[in-house]
Amino acid sequence: MRMLQLLFSQLAYRDLRLHRHDRDHCSGPTGVAIEIPVLLGTDSVTAPPLGPPPHQSEPLTRQRPRPARPTHDGVSAQEGVSAHEPATISAGSPTGATDSDRHVFDRPLALGPARSRRRPVVCGIVVAALLVVLAVRFRGDAASRLSGVPAPRWHWLAACVCCTALFYVANGLSMRAASGLRVELRTVTGVQVAAAATNRIVPAGLGAIAVHLRFLEKRGMTRPAALAAIASIKAAGAVSHLVGIVIVAGTLSGSGIGEAVVSPVRSTLTGIGTGPVLVGCVVVCALVTGTIAHPRVRAMARPAARAFRTHMSVLAHSPGRTTVLLLSQAGTRLFQILALACTVWAFGASISMMSVATVYLVGSMVAGVAPTAGGVGALEPALAFGLAAAGGDAATMLAVVLVYRVISFWLPVLPGIVALAGLRRSGDL
């Protein structure tokens, strides 16, 4: 509807100009300047020149000069034309045959209202005001609960930062092994940091997938091959995660950590009710089944599935690349566990490394079903409850999880924005 209204307004504007032009020039059968609402190209049909009547030396209406626009030859399209020449082009005008991009309208077709800068400013002010109100309202309660939390030891926090940096290096090694491209480790690590910054906005890891896909396509890979490489990274990560859970299964059975991690999810589902939960599961399954069974979706997914099978066969015949891919994905989990353990030890808690690994692996798997970017709002309570069940103080473990998430999740956003801008300038994205 918006496009139809704009089209009708432009047509009405053209008719009004024609009416004014005929009235001002007293035009008859021999004195009409024809306006054509199309782009005049070199193959336009030329008609005999129809200018103003002989008794009229210049037009009565004053037209605004159009700015000169350079052509492919570097010569201005308006060269040799007077600045006071009307913007309308007669059907037999020689300039109409040489300028293929000149439009007869003086004002361009407006496709929509200009984006205002006031809206982001207003939204930022509103969000800041809400945060200030919440901070003032719950400041006393938070201070009373966190009064017994010890001050962190900074060398352990520095170790947490180092483990977070190694996490992105391991992800870069995974991309290089999965794609088979000979790319510098610095470049692929920058891609991982940039993907992490975009992943803070888009849920379910779609931001990181988009950045990886763009990077691999810029490096010469086809879209199905790039998607197959990304899928192989996800598959290797899932395998390493399941192997880690199998390794810590002995610690999980007798510690009560699993029950503590799953209890927030169970209480949420109980509060919603069995009926709404079942209806939601049925709707989700129906949507997924309908999407997969759609002929167009199957036709689009068939090349990607074929490319994934080919990619997996290539990895099967390349044991070196497969080993690097699996070990690097296992390293990403290991460095995340080490970062969490360093934060726990920074606050003086005496929790074993195996317990921290159990809490992280189970908590991240449970929080992976949350439809939020990076599991925000789901991973924090899972880790806090799990660490408290492993023997830590509840308030201290809450502070541990918040500091860990600030270092490993929010702190890389600024370097990610810088890396994203650098990759855009270099042409890698």
Which has the minimum average pLDDT: 154-163, 304-313, 336-345? 304-313
**Three-state DSSP class for residue 398:** helix
In this structure, how many other beta carbons lie within 10 angstroms of the beta carbon of residue 7? 11
Q: Is the dihedral of CA 214, 215, 216, 222 positive or negative?
A: positive
DSSP secondary structure, 337-355, as one string:
HHHHHHHHHHTT----HHH
* Helix spans in 273-346 (H): 274-293, 295-316, 319-346
Q: Would the pLDDT of 255 be above 90?
A: no
**Three-state DSSP class for residue 70:** strand
Confidence tier at 428 by pLDDT (50, 70, 90): confident
Alpha-carbon span 418 to 400, nearest angstrom: 28
76 has which bridge partners?
70
Alpha-carbon span 233 to 212, nearest angstrom: 11
Q: Would the pLDDT of 7 be above 60?
A: no
Alpha-carbon span 274 to 260, nearest angstrom: 21
Q: Would the pLDDT of 268 be above 90?
A: no
Q: What is the pLDDT of residue 30?
A: 45
Q: Would the pLDDT of 106 be above 60?
A: no
Alpha-carbon span 44 to 93, nearest angstrom: 11
Alpha-carbon span 276 to 247, nearest angstrom: 36
Q: Would the pLDDT of 214 be above 70?
A: yes
Q: What is the pLDDT of residue 369?
A: 72
Confidence tier at 91 by pLDDT (50, 70, 90): very low
**pLDDT winner (highest mean) among 46-50, 63-67, 68-72, 190-194:** 190-194
Q: Would the pLDDT of 372 be above 60?
A: yes
Which has the minimum average pLDDT: 20-24, 281-285, 387-391? 20-24
For the chain, give the mean pLDDT.
74
Q: Would the pLDDT of 169 be above 70?
A: yes
Q: Would the pLDDT of 190 be above 90?
A: yes
By CB atoms closer than 10 A (0-12, 13-18, 19+), residue 196 is buried
Look up residue 111 and give its two tokens: 């496709």
Q: What is the pLDDT of residue 280?
A: 81
| Long-range contacts (CB closer than 8 Å, 24 or more residues apart) made by 126-134 | none
Q: Strands (DSSP E) along 172-267, which ranges?
A: none
In this structure, how many other beta carbons lie within 10 angstroms of the beta carbon of residue 22? 14
Confidence tier at 131 by pLDDT (50, 70, 90): low
Q: What is the pLDDT of residue 202?
A: 73
Alpha-carbon span 356 to 164, nearest angstrom: 16
**pLDDT winner (highest mean) among 80-89, 267-276, 414-423:** 414-423
